[in-house]
Amino acid sequence: MKTIGISEFKAGCIQILKDVQRTREPLVVTHRGRPLARIEPVPEVGRKVLGSLRHMGEIRTDLLTVDFTDEWEMCQD
């Protein structure tokens, strides 16, 4: 696992965080040679789950036009 000193992390924080996100590899920030924090990318679960079933369904009717004729006739009796 890659390590980086706290001074170097402070100087390039934004770019370092972007690199962690891009490479998907965690990073340990050290202070005086001792581990201080671990930075790891957030899992991208949301995108995969949300769109994973998009090709599995089919719309067979017009969702905006509803015909209540049969229901109306049942209520009239």
Higher per-residue confidence, 6 vs 46: 6
The domain locations on the chain are: 1-43
Q: State in words which class domain 1-43 has.
A: alpha beta
- How does DSSP assign the chain, residue by residue? -EEEEHHHHHHTHHHHHHHHHHH---EEEEETTEEEEEE-PPP-HHHHHHHTTTTT----S-SS----HHHHHHHH-
In this prediction, residues 26-46 reach a mean pLDDT of 91
pLDDT of the residue at 59:
72
pLDDT of the residue at 55:
75
pLDDT of the residue at 20:
96
pLDDT above 70 for 50: no
- Whether this model's pTM surpasses 0.85: no
Phi first, then psi: give them for residue 31, nearest 5 degrees. -130, 115
In this prediction, residues 49-56 reach a mean pLDDT of 70
